[in-house]
Structure 1
């Protein structure tokens, strides 16, 4: 009964005209910044943070939250239509979503992404409402050793993301890890692999790397292959999924929602890791694994569900412990501090209207987003009919604006162009970019948690196997390595992913 009375208070708070208006503004802004490559929720919330001074605390947080989970919806649009992920969490969606668009099924892919996002967002918000307090205790059990082991497991699982050679997949992950080392050492403060270039002391930006490897590289490949471009522009046959499509998307949406809800709670997890993990899991369990990378609807349903579920449940450690699990939540802490609200367990008791009003606004926001996005499917699909000679300059301009807006430096644009050439060459060598990007994202976090675990254990390496949760994660990783090494499994995998 407490839950029902709390939700009643939440909806009463969220259903005021002012809060509904700011929820709508946040959802629209989130969708727009998700569609625009490079301009992510971090940059947008950071820019809008000063503007929240004049707003009531509840309205400000509702708007900023709408921007965050709205961006997860919008990020899939460009990933599916032109193979440019609007968000880091949409990188995986581009693998199969873009191939569906090339096969004339862009409408189906966008509908699948929208429905998966809506269902996952609603379920994850329910999880947030019902299990916020008990689920937050899970985060307490994760120390540096556990986080390191979790990331090792994630990287080993990422090998499955590559549909080609295992050796190439491992090489790309290692290269991603090495790229993640560029910048300033957290402990000593010394510059590493910056080669006396001042702009590299802060490390390589994810936006520049992802935009180059996916956006610029794809443009070069399309300009090179006129025949492929004609295939891409083939008539879109249908905008709505068939009964068979609905049957195939149900299980991946459920699995993606479950995995995303769990990973969203863990600091360092978040939407990007959830989408990678969901795709990897789906590739293992799906009976259509041979279609992955060629336009499998499961490859859109699972990661889109996972990243939206993770976006919602990442509020659990923020609201219950005051611990921001990712950069966006760190900005939310800043927004709460501006309004003299101390994030943590006391928010539930000292300001229940804010706590439950924010949760209720997420349900309303998800409904607004699905109403906004589904009617727009036809409009987005019209992009495919624009001649590519007119489309690619606009794509380049938006990419450059997005990349420049992160740090306001032209160096990032040159960096993106460089990674575009590298991405083009990797494509020619049949080396896939997603494993590299996952290694690049997880590398710095792995290093930080590895060194922290050793500092706390006074240099004792056995800390990774003496802690039960860490040991369990490493054992799971070893089982995956053993499975991949089994000749029968390896042969089956190669047959499944053989190129047509």
Structure 2
């Protein structure tokens, strides 16, 4: 009943004209950046974070949530019409969606992606509404030892699963943890890793790192790989979704939702893994003539993964809001946004900032409706965005990145630091090191250190205290299971791609 009352209060706040405009702005920007190849929600959040400091916390979080969901919607457009996913979670959509577009069924592919995203996003947000408060009540009872265990799982799974190489992912995570230690030790008051530079005395701001990695580094990397020729677009086509298409799609929408949401709630690869599992399930369940369509433009191969993509996006918010654990790059940016407003995502969030949380959840329902209304009739406009000359686009990104970095503390040193981090991000992408674990390590590293030192202080330095809690033992056992299952899924994925 408390959840229902909170949600009603959230709708009353989110339905205010001011917040509706912020939600509309967020979904518009999110869809636009999702459409553009190489520019994902994480980069957009990093770019916009410095210029949203003047907004009140609720308005800023609503904008960021709109960008988050909008980016998931928009990525299907380039996957279908350009065979170039706007973000990694849309890679599977390109397999069948682009073939449908080449066969003159681009409109049907875009429609099933948009409607499937709406259905999955709405159902998954309902699940978030029901699951998050209960999980928060459980999380309140966790002690330092339990939090250490949960964060170890988050570190290892994010580092190992986000990227093609486990070692490279863990190396990126370690780099983020080291950067998180720069500055003044909160307990002893001693400076650490500052090299005597005053600019590092207060630590390296997470916004600088995020903008440097996602905007500067990613922008340089994508721009370096772009060809001078404009992208070759496939015409949308006039064939809309037929009654048969709807009949074939709705079971896939539901199955994708059932797969995506649970995968999103655990640190096991996020939407990328969910879309692959959904596609594999649809292909295995197809019979006869419909099975033969896979590899030639099967509509189920678009409907299921797109539903799983958006359901996982809502699932990611469960550990983010209740435990403060980001399991994707975009979720890490959401945590950074909370922290900029001195709000700590975690067990106390529902008790201390319940109005903000329920307004955020209500805005997800509203944003889903906005996205459906915007994506179906305005798909031609999103396609037009793809015609923006790439040199202008990435030059604009670098300009906004520099302005945003300067706006953090209004010091030129931050712009220089941004360039250094951007070059690090470029070479990480160039040599296959994922940047998401680095950001997660930077954000969670100080929290992990604080909980670890607290747990050891209580136990008078006994390291065995880290496995003294039944909850911690259960979490470590789950970690082993996650790695065994993920190794099996990677082997399945490799076999399927051969």
Task: Please confirm whether the aligned pair reaches a TM-score higher than 0.5, indicating the same fold.
Answer: yes
Q: Normalising TM by the smaller chain, what interval?
A: 0.5 to 0.7
1:164, distance to aligned residue in structure 2 (A): 3.4
How many residues are matched? 438
Query: How far does the alpha carbon of each residue in 1:67-125 deviate from its partner, in whole angstroms, 9 at most, with x for none?
Result: 34223234558988999xxxxxxxx9833448978997899789858854773355434
Report how far residue 24 of structure 1 moved: 1.1
Residues 179, 204 of structure 2: 8 Å contact kept: yes
Q: Are the aligned partners of 1:161 and 1:280 in contact in 2 as well (CA < 8 Å)?
A: no
- Trace 1:26-175 onto structure 2 (pairs within 5 A): 26-31=22-27, 37-38=44-45, 46-49=53-56, 63=59, 66-76=62-72, 94-97=87-90, 112=113, 116=117, 119-120=120-121, 123-125=124-126, 127-128=128-129, 130=130, 134-162=134-162, 164-175=164-175
Report the counterpart of residue 322 of structure 1 in structure 2: none
The one-character-per-residue Cα deviations of 1:102-152 (angstroms, maximum 9, x if unpaired) are: 997899789858854773355434653x56654432122322222221222
Shift of 1:469: 1.4
> Aligned equivalents of 1:343 and 1:428: distance in 2?
38
Distance 1:314 1:111, change over 3 A: farther
Partners of 1:176 and 1:109 in 2: CA distance: 38
Q: Secondary structure at the match of 2:280?
A: coil
Q: Deviations over 1:317-366 (max 9, x none)?
A: 99xxxxxx9565578898xxxxxxx9976999xx9xx9988866653454
Counterpart in the other structure of 1:387: 389
- Within the alignment, does 1:25 sit opposite 2:6 as a pair? no
Whole-angstrom CA distance in 1 between matches of 2:371 and 2:445:
33
Task: Name 2:199's counterpart in structure 1.
Answer: 199
8 A contact 1:278–1:303 mirrored in 2:
yes
Measure how far apart 1:66 and its partner are: 3.2
The corresponding residue for 2:429 is 427
Q: Where does 1:227-242 land on structure 2 (aligned, <5 Å)?
A: 227=227, 230=229, 233-238=231-236
Whether contact under 8 Å (2:149, 2:475) holds in the other structure is yes
Question: 1:116·1:304 contact (CA, 8 Å) conserved in 2?
Answer: yes
TM-score, structure 2 length as denominator? Answer: 0.67
Instruction: Point out where structure 2 has 5 or more consecutive residues left out of the alignment.
Output: 34-42, 80-84, 283-300, 325-333
Report the Cα offset of residue 153 of structure 1: 1.6
Partner of 1:442: 444
Of residues 439-448 and 130-139 in structure 1, the stretch that sits farther from structure 2 once superposed is: 130-139
1:467: how far off?
Answer: 0.9
TM-superposed deviation, 1:187: 2.0
- Secondary structure (helix, strand or coil) at the match of 1:287 reads helix
Which position in structure 1 is the counterpart of 2:297? none
Maintained 8 Å contact 2:26/2:64: yes
| C-alpha contact 1:38 1:399 (8 A) present in aligned 2 | no
The answer for the alignment partner of 1:492 in structure 2 is 491
Contact 2:22 2:63 in 1 (8 A): yes
Alignment check: 8 A CA contact 2:78 2:86 kept: no
Q: 1:371 aligns with which of 356, 373, 398?
A: 373
Distance in 2 (CA, whole Å) between partners of 1:343 and 1:491 is 35
Q: Would you say the 8 A contact 1:33–1:71 is kept in 2?
A: yes
Per-residue deviation at 1:471? 1.0
Which residues in structure 2 correspond to 1:299-448 (within 5 Å)?
A: 302=308, 304-311=310-317, 363-372=365-374, 374-448=376-450
Displacement of 1:397 in angstroms is: 2.0
Task: Give the drift of 1:300.
Answer: 6.7
Structure 1 stretch displaced more, 147-156 or 401-410: 401-410
CA distance in 1, matches of 2:225, 2:158: 29
Question: TM-score, normalised on structure 1?
Answer: 0.66
In structure 1, what is the equivalent of residue 291 of structure 2?
A: none
Match 2:260 to one of 248, 256, 259: 256
Partners of 2:442 and 2:127 in 1: CA distance: 33
After superposition, the Cα gap between the structure-2 partners of 1:112 and 1:82, relative to the gap in structure 1 and judged at 3 Å, is: closer
CA contact (8 A) 1:213 1:433 kept: yes
- The 1:395/1:421 distance shift into structure 2, 3 A limit, reads same
